[in-house]
Amino acid sequence: MVIRYSQKFGRHLLLLNVPGRSLILVHPANDAKTELRGCIGPVTTITGEGMGERSRKAFHELMNLVSPVLGTAEEVWITIEGPDYFITQKQSL
């Protein structure tokens, strides 16, 4: 996982070494159907299928947790859960 910058999303996270995937970003998004194309949008509250609230707040809290660790020997794990799947991806730094 690395911090990345683009004009569209500003400062965001890029997940690395995901089998069969590339350019998986973590950035603010409250509506997965209209704002995401395979990326991850953290939210503070899930309000419905693919919907949430206060994504910017959740994203900034995530960045505050992850940023100091990136570039160190510590590990960061991302766990993705849903009704029909459970995936844990270890991100080596």
Hey, where are the domains in the chain?
A: 2-91
Q: What is the DSSP letter of 68?
A: T
Mind listing the pLDDT tens digit for each residue in 13-54? Answer: 998 888 888 889 999 999 988 988 888 999 998 888 888 899
What pLDDT is attached to residue 86?
46
Phi and psi dihedrals of 35, rounded to 5? -115, -10
What pLDDT is attached to residue 60?
94
What pTM value is reported for the model?
Answer: 0.78
- Picking from 89, 84, 12, 13, the residue whose alpha carbon sits closest to that of residue 49 is 84
